[in-house]
Amino acid sequence: MDNPNTNSQFDAALAECRKVFTAKLQDYGASWRIMRPAAVTDQIFIKAKRIRSLETKGVSKVGEGILPEFIAIVNYGIIGIIQLRYGYSDTKDMTPEHATELYDNIAAEAKNLMIAKNHDYDEAWRSMRVLSYTDLILMKIERTKEIEDNNGLTKVSEGIDANYFDMINYAVFGIIQLCDEI
């Protein structure tokens, strides 16, 4: 049975991620355009490993918690899809307005995917622990690295973009769960 709050919670989490994304666009422009997709995957890996470390140790020495890392995973996942679709560049070749438009389109795709999967899985994510989202993201990263190392070729599996979308949605679920705990 679908929870009537899922869409609004998902939208609120994505709005928070978008706020961070647009603020960083103001600070740095689309400097991430120079990143090749494999580098984006590694950046997501760093964020997910930090979440796992914080979950395990229970203490942060740099003062930032798990929530900002899940937000970063959402944003880097969207950046990864942009890089897959448009290629990387040697310069900041995208205006903040265009980057935000692409961000919004991909976020909408992620939400549509969540709605479809949520229907089929009956909101199972709500009964999961946040640490499971972390582990699933780390697994998706490992899968993505394998596909990248095989030049994007798969025999039966979904591609890199599908893994990025799953990472985005798992991170949004983590954001929702963490905000429910507050």
Residue 61 pLDDT > 80: no
Each residue's pLDDT tens digit, 118-151: 989 989 999 999 999 999 999 999 999 999 999 8
- Confidence category of residue 153, pLDDT binned at 50, 70, 90: confident
- Confidence category of residue 4, pLDDT binned at 50, 70, 90: low
Q: Cα(127)–Cα(11) distance, rounded to whole angstroms?
A: 20
What H or E segment, with its residue span, contains residue 14?
Answer: helix 6-28
pTM for the model stands at 0.94
Least confident span in 14-18, 94-98, 117-121, 152-156: 152-156
For the segment 64-92, the average pLDDT, to the nearest whole number, is 96
For the segment 91-103, the average pLDDT, to the nearest whole number, is 96
Residue 170 pLDDT > 60: yes
Centre a 10 Å sphere on the Cβ of residue 108 and count the other Cβ atoms it contains.
11
- Confidence category of residue 8, pLDDT binned at 50, 70, 90: very high
R_g of the chain computed on alpha carbons = 16
